[in-house]
């Protein structure tokens, strides 16, 4: 499918456009945070403790006098970094195992899919909590654990695509020409099976951001003083009676970000899948 067809489908969906614009805006703000005219997110000001939103601090300050706006912006950088890296890990593992299971089939397919079933038996969030209990909670650990516990859906998607594509004429022709299995997988089947993977990646970023925020809120994710939407919410919980802004603004950041990624992912899925596009039309 060419890009113009996808763009025409996406451009007719205002929710998808909204999600895409917000995702791009968040990405630009996150990578340019160091150059924005905002306060130092780590600067403690004893004279501005729990100051409500105003001209000097549009989102107010926290219990240490730190500017909440700057911490929310720098928290976006942490959240997006965790989302992209953890989803990248999940995509690599899921694509590799799904490709092997779908292409070779037989006992290898059975073994991999039974392992997937075992992994899916455990509630993901509680599995993450159990693993973090034995490890030091830091950004690298969070990214690795979310990625290592989030590949099962991608594996199933890729396997299903391989089961369908490996019987197509272009694959049979490649086999008849003596092309090796690895080359068939990498050059002929995998590029044609990446559409659902791309959609799953976009939706996965939203899930990873939500998981990281929840872990940081519980105190076992990104540790202070590093700003994260989750640990800002923890400050809001501790000061909910006198510092409502500590809960409102990071909560809105999580809501808008997760919603935007979901809207973008759903819209792209409809645009890239001819069956869904035909049903919606």
Q: What is the DSSP string of 104-151?
A: H-HHHHHHHHHHHHHHHHS-HHHHHHHHHTTS--SHHHHHHHHHHTS-
Question: Average pLDDT for residues 173-201, to the nearest whole number?
Answer: 85
Tell me, what's the pLDDT at 125?
82
Which residue range(s) make up the domain with 97? Answer: 76-272
| pLDDT-wise least confident of 58-62, 126-130, 257-261 | 126-130
Gap between the Cα atoms of 37 and 130, Å rounded? 41
Domain membership flag for residue 279: no
Tell me, what's the pLDDT at 281?
38
Question: Average pLDDT for residues 32-52, to the nearest whole number?
Answer: 89
Domain count, the chain: 1
pLDDT tens string 188-237? 888 888 888 888 999 999 999 999 899 888 888 888 888 889 989 988 88
Quick check: 149 pLDDT over 70? yes
Domain membership flag for residue 88: yes
Question: Average pLDDT for residues 55-63, to the nearest whole number?
Answer: 91
Domain membership flag for residue 109: yes
Q: How sure is the predictor about 275, in pLDDT bands with cuts at 50, 70 and 90?
A: low
Domain membership flag for residue 58: no
Tokens of 162: 């391989």
123 vs 94 pLDDT, higher one: 94
What CATH number is associated with residue 208?
1.10.3720.10
Domain membership flag for residue 69: no
Domain membership flag for residue 268: yes
Tell me, what's the pLDDT at 251?
93
Quick check: 255 pLDDT over 60? yes
Domain membership flag for residue 67: no
Q: DSSP state, 52?
A: P
Domain membership flag for residue 248: yes
Q: DSSP state, 54?
A: -
E-strand spans in the chain?
none
Question: Average pLDDT for residues 107-123, to the nearest whole number?
Answer: 90
Give me the chain's average pLDDT, please.
86
């Amino acid at each position: 499918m060419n890009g113009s067809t996808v763009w025409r489908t996406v451009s007719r969906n205002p929710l998808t456009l909204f999600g895409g614009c917000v995702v791009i805006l968040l990405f630009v703000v996150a990578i340019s945070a160091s150059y924005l005219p905002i306060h130092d997110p780590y600067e403690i000001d004893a004279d501005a403790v729990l100051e409500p939103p105003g001209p000097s601090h549009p989102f107010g300050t926290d219990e240490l006098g730190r500017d909440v706006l700057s911490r929310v912006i720098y928290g976006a950088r942490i959240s997006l970094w965790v989302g992209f890296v953890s989803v990248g890990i999940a995509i690599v593992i899921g694509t590799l195992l799904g490709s092997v299971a779908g292409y070779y089939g037989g006992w290898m397919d059975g073994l991999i899919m039974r392992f997937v079933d075992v992994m899916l038996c455990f509630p993901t969030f509680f599995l993450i909590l159990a693993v973090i209990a034995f490890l030091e909670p830091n950004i690298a650990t969070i990214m690795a654990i979310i990625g290592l516990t989030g590949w099962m859906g991608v594996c199933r998607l890729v396997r299903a695509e391989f089961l369908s594509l490996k019987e197509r004429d272009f694959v049979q022709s490649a086999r008849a020409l003596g092309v090796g299995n690895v080359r068939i997988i990498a050059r002929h089947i995998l590029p044609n099976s990446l559409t659902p993977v791309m959609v799953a990646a976009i939706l996965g970023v939203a899930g990873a951001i939500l998981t990281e925020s929840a872990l940081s809120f519980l105190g076992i994710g990104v540790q202070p003083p590093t700003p994260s939407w989750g640990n800002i919410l923890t400050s809001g919980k501790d000061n909910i009676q006198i510092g409502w802004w500590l809960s409102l603004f990071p909560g809105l950041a999580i809501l808008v970000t997760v919603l935007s990624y979901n809207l973008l992912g759903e819209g792209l899925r409809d645009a890239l899948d001819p069956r869904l596009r035909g049903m919606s039309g």
